[in-house]
Amino acid sequence: MRKTFKGGVHPPHYKEATEHREIEKARLPQRVIIPLQQHIGAPCELIVKVGDKVKVGQKIGEGKAFVSAPVHASISGEVVSIETLPHPVGGKVLSVVIQSDGLDEVDNNIKPFGSIESLSPEELKKIIREAGIVGMGGAAFPTQVKLSPPPEKTIDTVIINGAECEPYLTADHRVMLERTEDVVFGIKVVMRAVGVSSVYIGIEDNKPDAIKKLEEAVSGEENIKVIPLRAKYPQGGEKQLIYAITGREVPSGGLPMEVGVIVQNVGTVTAIARAVKTGMPLIERVVTVTGSGVKKPRNLLARIGTPFKDLIEECGGFNGTPGKVIMGGPMMGIAQTSLEVPVIKGTSGILVLTKEEAKQYEPGPCIKCARCVDICPINLLPTRISHFSQMGMWDEAEEYNALDCIECGSCSYICPSKIPLVQRIRIAKGEILARKRKK
């Protein structure tokens, strides 16, 4: 029996349009927009000015805080403006706009760092930090911080997340098939950086070709094992993945390191491999551009900072009038109000839905069916927290562990009355956190 977790839902996969399409290099953008915040933590400090000439891989924003990550120029050209611009996760962020010179000239400081064995764990972590690598599954937590747990926390297991449970998205799937060697190389970097000898690669069983390819790639590696997982949403959630593979439960309010585990996405370890092998920081990523609302769905290797509209145009443009454009998948993705927003480090996909697919339904009354309770992967009471949120009862929402909600959207998906449960819980979480910051 395939390993899995408690609860969860089974939305249609909708991956057929791109799961067999190889990764293609996107056209070099004429202009990129590099936000100084693309990660969880403190924003970067600006280290360039308007008029500066920059090259590919050159650092343009310094992450000085411990929880931060620098940003780099993804094309060569001139800094033409520095201003607050719309960000794909919402609001506006100070951003560096670079106009391409068409040369795609690489910064002179970009050089290979040598073999893994020749580098100490601290040197590897420094390389990862300077490369601006963050979790590329969408959370965008600085990777170097994840790899530096407090001394009192003993880490004995690393899990590589190849689940990609969100419908439509196939970027990680293609990375596992086409960049298998880099996935394994990046895993070995993480093993040396953290000092662990036990690694599991978790892949949902709706990707049998990726399971086979990685099993072959690690067949000679005693300490790296591929674990096929039952395809179920949200299998790619950190806590769900840890439980499915190790049987360990991360406590309420805790992090994976509380149970001795670090989780890294397959895209992240691939970026780590590139940084060590070539010296190139994180300046591009694979983006699945898909959905019924786009003419030619594809998996594109896009430079960070490329406007969404450029990638949609490269995929043939809209198929009719779009109903909604989402960064990420339909369950946890973020709806966009502008196509001028750029690809950032956490952009795994751009999903275009038709008007019919994006149709909003009027919520009905709760019929007390408890389906949301049955499927909640965190064992919460979504309807109760939703009610507290509507009533502005933030203390009560916190008592019912609203902050533990991973916002997977399973409750909203399963609700027969179409009640926007996760949206209301998200509001409660925001209010609770805002009140905590004021104390």
Counting residues of the chain whose pLDDT is more than 70, the rounded percentage is 100
Confidence check: pLDDT of 190 > 70: yes
pLDDT at 42 over 80: yes
Mean pLDDT, residues 374-389: 96
In whole angstroms, give the CA distance from residue 424 to residue 426: 5
| pLDDT of 283 strictly over 90 | yes
Predicted confidence (pLDDT) per residue in 338-355, tens digit: 999 999 999 999 999 999
Residue 361, pLDDT > 90, answer no
Say what the pLDDT of residue 40 is: 87
For the entire predicted model, the pTM comes to 0.95
Q: Does residue 439 have a pLDDT over 80? A: no
Q: Which pLDDT band, with edges at 50, 70 and 90, does 188 fall under?
A: very high
Structure confidence at residue 412 (pLDDT): 96
Tens of pLDDT, residues 420-431: 999 999 999 999
Locate 103 and state its tokens.
């040369």
d(CA 385, CA 393): 9
- SS3 assignment, position 49: coil
User: Can you tell me the mean pLDDT for 325-345?
Assistant: 96
> Does residue 162 carry a pLDDT above 80?
yes
5, 243 Cβ separation under 8 angstroms: yes
∠ CA 344-346-347, rounded to 5°: 70
Please say whether the beta carbons of 60 and 27 come within 8 A.
no
Q: Give the alpha-carbon dihedral of 165, 169, 172, 178, to 10 degrees.
A: 130
pLDDT of residue 236: 94
Query: Omega before 142 cis (within 30°)?
Result: no
Task: Report pLDDT for 1.
Answer: 67
- For residue range 95-126, what is the model confidence (pLDDT) as tens digits? 999 999 999 999 999 999 999 999 999 999 99
Distance separating alpha carbons of residues 210 and 203, to the nearest angstrom = 8
Residue 2 banded pLDDT, cuts 50, 70, 90: confident
Given this model, what pLDDT does residue 308 score? 98
